[in-house]
Structures are given as C-alpha cells and as structure tokens.
Chains A and B, each alone.
Chain A
C-alpha cells in the first residue's frame, strides 16, 4: 500500500515540481504510514527504484536509446555498459528516498 502511494504521489510531484519533491514525499508518507525504520527505508527505496528505473526504461525505449549510450560514454569512455547507467539512475534516486523514508519514521517516533 505504502509502496503504491509513494510511487503514485511522488510521480505526480516530480512530474510538476523539481526532483527533490521526491524525498519530501517519501518523508511525509513514511511519517504517516511506516511501521519500522527498516521497513520505511525499504519501501521508499523500492518504490523509487521501481519508479526511476521504470521511467528511464520507458524513455529509453520510446526514444530508441538515442541518449543512453552517449551519456554512458560521457562518463565511462568507450565502455559499452548501458546497464550501468540504468543502475546509477535507480540507485541515486532510491538511496535518497530510503533515507528520507527512514527520517520520516524516526521523526514521527520522536513526536
């Protein structure tokens, strides 16, 4: 449930607002609904990993990968590891999300 909520609400927020609305949404929803610190971290991490990876894969597919290889090469020279770019994308988002979710849980506990 929380997983779905984070996915949908943060997607709407990020679509209209800047990227950092994402950790704010994770914080708020986990503040409201999460059960444990580990759980908060895990669910936020998983939801954003799904969202960022899924959306990146969708864009890559819709644009026939026109930018994926170029950005990979920009960072990694001639290495052909496109998958690293997808991994980096989902990790950068989900680590922030995880910590924001965990902070949400701990803040509620502190009140």
Chain B
C-alpha cells in the first residue's frame, strides 16, 4: 500500500510538472509562462529601466559604445565598420528579435510552422510568389560584393551573439506565448525581410479585373473610363520638364489576345493605402537658405513598428535615421551633409499571363507556335499540429510560376487559376545593402546618383537634399521596358511579344534636380506627365495628396522645419474642394435632402478632415457610397464570378461634372426609371445619413466627429494579440489627405523633417510606436500619442562619442571576449 501511495503521488506530481512544462493546444506552457521567475512577469520593464550591463561577445575586433537616449534610441560608436554592423545587429535584436524573425518567416512561407496552422494558405501563396527564391537571389548578391558581404555577415553575427545569450527568462513575450524559439540569423534572412517589403509595395495587380471589363464593354469604354493618365494630376517630375536623354526603342504593341470573361476568383479590396509623401525645399525657399527635407512613408501601422531609430558612427560614417529590423544600414535618414527619403513608385510591375496547357497534366504549354515543357517543383512545409508536412506542386513556365493550378482555390484575386506571373520582385536583384551603405555615407548629389542603381526593387521615389543647396528626386528602380498598356490586361502567354523586354535604362528613369519651382516632391502619383517616353502603368495613387503638397510648397517662403511639419499634418480635402460646390447644388434640387441638418453642416464645412469635423465624416462616407452606387451595377467589384473594378474617383467626378446624364448614372436594376447623376447624388446623400445614423447613432458632434468615426487601429503583427494593440487612436486625415491616416490602419509610419546645415543638421522625427518591441515596456508605444497630435521629437544626432547630451540616459559597452 505504501509503495502504491508513493508511486501514485510521484506520478501525480511528476505528471503535473510535465504537463505544465509543455504547450497544450493554443495555450503556452503554463508552468514556465506563469512563473514569476521566468514567465511573462519577467517581460515587464520598469519605467526607468536599469542601464544595460556591459557585455563581452565573440566576433568583435574592438570595443563598441552604445549610448541610449531617453526615447530608447541607440547611438552606436564603433572603431571599424565590421564592429559597427555587428553592434547594429546585436542592439536591434535586443529590442526587436521576435519581429525580425517574424518577417523572415512570412517571406519564407513558414508562419504555419511556427505561429499558427491558420496561416497555411498565406504561406502557400507567399511561396508561390517565390519570395524564398527571391530572397536567395538577394543573399547571393549581398555575398558577391565584398562590402555588402562584410555588412550582412557582421550583422548576422551580432544578431546571433544576442540569440546565444537569450534564455527562456528573457525571451521576447511572443515566443513564450506561441511556444517556439528563435533560429540563428543569416544573410538569407535579411533577403527575406527585403522580400516582405517588395511584396507589400507592389505585388498586386488589376490585370484580371481589367480583362473582364475589356471583354464586356470593349476598348472604347475602357479608354473613356480607365484612361492612362488622370484628369487632375500634379506629377512627381514637374509637368513640362524636358527629358535630356535619347530614349531607347520601346517594344512594339502585339496583337491583343481576345479578352475572355474569367471566373473562379476570391475577392480582395482595392489596393490598400500603401503610399507615402516626401519633399525637399530648396534654400531659396527656406529661412536659413539651405534645403529642408521631409518624408513620411505610409505603411500598415503595426506594433511593433516597422521602423527602428538608430545612429551609426564609425570612422567611415555618421548617420541617423530609421531601419527595418533585419535589414542592416539606415533606410531613411540623414548625415552631416545630406538627407534622403523614399516613397513607393506604384508602377505596374506584376503581370499575369494566360497559359494554355496541352492537357490536365499541365506538363506542356503552348508558346511561340510549339508545345513547351513546364518545370514542376514540389514545395514541402511543416505545419504546427500536423503530423505530415503539407505538399504543394508548383508549375513553372518561362514567365514564372503558375499562381493557382487547375482545381485549386485562388488565394486572392491577384492569383487566378491557370495564370503565370512575371513580377519585378524576383526578376530584379540589385544590392540594397550596398546601396544603403553608399547612401549613409553620401556627401553630395553625385554620391546620391551613384547609390540609386543598386536599389532595384521596390521602385522608390528617392528624394534628396544636400548642404551644398542641391535638391533632387528620382523615381528610381528596375522599371520594365514595356509597350503601351502592356500588363494593363491579362496577356497571352503564348505570344513571345508579351514577354518582358529588359529595363528602362537606369539613367532614364524619371528624375529632376533643382527644378525652377524651388522644391521637389512625391506622393505616389504619376512619376511623369505623358511626355515621358516610356509606359509605367495606367493607374497610380490618386493625385490629391500631390496636388495639395505642391500647392502649399509653391506658396511657401522662408520655410522652417515647423512649416514642413505642419504640412505633413495637413488635413485639407482637395477632393471636397473640387466636388463639394457641384454636389451641394445637386443635393439642393431635392427638397427633402436639402432639409437635412447634414446639408448645412456640409455647406459650412472648412474642407478639412480635422478630428472634430462632422462634415468630413459625412463627405468621406458619401464618396464611398456614391462611387459604389454609380459603378457596382455595371462594374461589380463584389461579383464572385466576374469581378471588375470601379473607374477611379478622378474619372467619376469628371463624368459627373461634364456628363451628368451619362448612362452610367442610371441604375440598370431599376427598369422603369432613368436616373441622372444629380438625382443619384441627392439619393445617396440621404442614404449616407441613414447609414451613418445606423453606425454611430443620431447625429451628434461627438459621435460623428471624424476622429471618432474613422478611429485608427494600430494592431500587433499577430492579429489575435488584441491586448498588445492600440485601438481607436483619435486623429484626422484620410486616404487622399496629406495626413494619410486611414480607417484600415495605414498611415504615416515614420515622419521626419531635416534642416540641412553647413555645420550640423537639425532633425525631427517620430513614428506611431516605440523603440522596444516588448509589449511589457513603457517604450513599446510611447510615441503614439504625440504622433496622433502631429508632434515631432527633436532627434539626438551626436557629433562624437564624447559629446555630452542631456538626453543621453545610459551607456553600454560591448567588448570582445577572450
């Protein structure tokens, strides 16, 4: 009996310990996770964090000093570049290890292995987009050049030196909850991080929807409603700029494939608010006589933030700015002499080809008058909780991989069945690490031009300013040399004339230096007016932000950093200025619509999307509903079988103004009545008020205020971790507003203003998050409130290791271990 009792009690105690030591279903291992000695309690940081202790690490040549300022920004001082990039990797891993590995897992198609089996379709799609192959090509390019090889290898060694120190107790919280551990970093993972950026920027297309429209309505309607250049636009390179190069021959337009109606699609909304603003004013327009540069890249707002601030100092460089965790160097920033910034160039670089297979084995396809063999590749990947790996057979054509095989369900509308993809993301390599190395050390305009060819994809509008009073902007990147409208519709994969045909020569991509107007700017609009000799795409971001920025900069005299900060936070609604007078006149014709209190609110609006404006809430909602009311009946975006695309807002407003009785305004579903544009405006205005009342209750200045109604959410990278997100941040702006904060949680992910100077620049900046990636740190989201108010912090840019600065609060020495 006593033996049985002993055995039983041992079994219970041991079994309980064993069970609590391992994850059960979605729960973390409860023992270590709840233990205050090792678990989540240990991830809480005190408001005044103890200064980091000095460390000894293997792989360093000398001693590195890291000074932290009161915002948690590390200022790294090293005696040589190897140590500098080693320390950059080490220091960023201390704050953002989980996040950088998360990005690499996304691009590797391995989220379902580590994070959640729910990500299996997402993983499969990312693998089909060839993100892992693209990353391998990038890593090869990094390792081929001695400079970038030194950087990515030192950086990896630094990250790995941190990983080697980590025990369960100081593991980032997300690992503890999700139950996995960090893997070693490598140059390949830096390539994977770059691939995530490439995908976010331009891996989507409207080709398929446009083909459906072409098939149903013909070329004339496409030309009228989906033109290749907007009616109202203010391009990046000032209209009328002369092109000082002899263009190369553009491929001939081949005979078009007969467009057919497509089926079998999932639906995806229009392009999200991936966009950005940047500009630089020349000394002739600034208070000091030297340029000021501003940049605010708009990306998905997440926690941890996509950006991390740093200063890097070695005998060859002293630079400050932001970087993406996992990607060495400084991406957007400034040094003593120059400043640079980036916005996305939304050119069409993602093209679909219809493939005609010989039979269902899909082993051969028709190309150039003969059957050509495909290549098959089986992707095998582990999924958390599944005993067997998932297998996915990919079919490669010379165009690229088939995104969705026959018999499979497409992951998104960008990936129709039986179509192959050619995408710049895996076609162009460049060497971004070397490019940033040069940018960080740039001294003048010539250095800027030298760095550009290395940054191939995604294409960026790279703005530049120097203390020699030069300003410039280049719509830079690998841009395919296309015939007019190539890739506006799905192309015939059998016709060789549809293949991509090399690139626009790098020195002929749109650029301008010191234009007469005294400033350069970009907001993702068309890079150039139609005189530019090459076709870049038919649709770019709506022009309103660019129009507003250019108007204000044109008027600006004696600009200061604060004038540019205020412009970044500008809430003026250009679309409302263009359309509201016409809309109000149309609403007036309908007495019951005119009688609504909302009418006078709209009529008395200051045209600003300020957080307290009720009119902004009404207008933005109206625009959405009106566009759907005009176009959904003919160009349905919601039709699962034949999805199409609405004409742009630009085209919609021009049509309403010039042809208010056009047939498109008639609702084809009401047989006995022909609606005009004006009637539709009044009807939709009333409907808008009804739907807003339904959503926010009866109209009141509080609940209908734009800031409350829009409500920006800044979510953790794992959607299920709502507790680590900041919901309902109140601010103004909107998708087509300079302050481009949207309802979907996109917006200015970093705001920077740099005043160039002969002796030392003055810079300001801030992003909606915090330096620490740890939800248990006071520095996790400390900048969000200031960001919502449009404030900027003065950035601490130290001249040397010995400079005493009141904002430096702690110091850490990293020495080499014996």
Within 8 A of A (CB), among B30-72: 30-32, 34-47
Contact B6 A102 (CB under 8 A): no
Instruction: Tell me, in angstroms, the Cα distance from A92 to B12 when the chains sit together.
Output: 14
Q: Which residues of B contact A74 (CB under 8 A)?
A: 177, 721-724
Could you say which of A20, A62, A109 contacts B17, with CB atoms under 8 Å apart? A20
Verify B46–A62 contact, CB threshold 8 A. yes
- Complex interface: stretch among B188-196, B347-355, B772-780: B772-780
User: Per-residue 0/1 for A74-111: is the Cβ within 8 Å of any B Cβ (1 yes, 0 no)?
Assistant: 10010000000000110011011001101101110110
A108 to B47 CA separation, bound complex (whole angstroms): 48
The interface bits of chain A over 39-77 (1 if a CB of B lies within 8 angstroms of the residue's CB, else 0) are 000000000000010011001101110111111111001
Q: Is the CB of B37 within 8 A of A14?
A: yes
A residues in contact with B38, CB < 8 Å: 14, 18-19
Contact assessment for A67 and B6 in the assembled complex, using a CB-CB cutoff below 8 Å = no
B723 touches A73 (CB 8 A): yes
User: Interface digits, B6-33 against A, CB 8 Å rule (1 contact, 0 not)?
Assistant: 1011101110110011000000001110
B724: chain A residues at CB < 8 Å are: 70, 74
B778 (CB) vs chain A CBs: closest residue: A66
- Count A-B pairs with CB separation below 8 Å: 122
Q: B723, A23: Cβ atoms under 8 Å?
A: no
On chain A, the number of residues with a Cβ less than 8 Å from chain B's Cβ atoms is 41
Q: Which residues of A contact B778 (CB under 8 A)?
A: 64, 66
Verify A92–B13 contact, CB threshold 8 A: no
Cα–Cα distance between A15 and B35 once the two chains are bound (Å): 11
A20-B31, A107-B9 as given contacts; A70 in contact with B36, CB under 8 Å: no
Partner among B5, B6, B21, B44 whose Cβ is within 8 Å of the Cβ of A66 = B44
**Would you call B775 and A19 a contact (CB within 8 A)?**
no
Q: State the main secondary structure of chain A at its contact with B.
A: helix
B13 close to A67 (CB less than 8 A): no
Minimum C-beta distance from B48 to chain A (A):
10
Bound-state Cα–Cα, A62 to B776, Å: 12
A47–B311 CA distance with the chains assembled, in angstroms: 49
Q: B775 — which chain A residues lie within 8 A by C-beta?
A: 67, 70
Residues of B with C-beta under 8 A to A92? 20, 30-31, 34
The listed residue (A55, A72, A109) touching B6 by CB distance below 8 A is A109
B10 x A19 contact (CB < 8 A) = no
CB-contact partner of B41 in A22, A55, A64, under 8 A: A55
Q: Which 4 residue pairs across A and B have the least CB separation, nearest first?
A: A73-B723, A110-B6, A63-B44, A67-B776
Known pairs A72-B723, A110-B3. 12 more at Cβ < 8 A?
Answer: A14-B37, A19-B21, A20-B17, A52-B35, A63-B44, A66-B776, A70-B775, A71-B723, A96-B13, A100-B13, A103-B12, A106-B10
CB within 8 Å of B: which residues of A? 14-15, 18-20, 22-23, 27, 52, 55-56, 59-60, 62-64, 66-74, 77, 88-89, 92-93, 95-96, 99-100, 102-103, 105-107, 109-110
Supply 17 A–B pairs (Cβ within 8 Å), ascending by A.
A14-B35, A14-B37, A19-B37, A19-B38, A20-B31, A23-B16, A55-B37, A63-B776, A67-B775, A70-B723, A72-B723, A99-B12, A100-B17, A106-B5, A106-B10, A110-B2, A110-B3
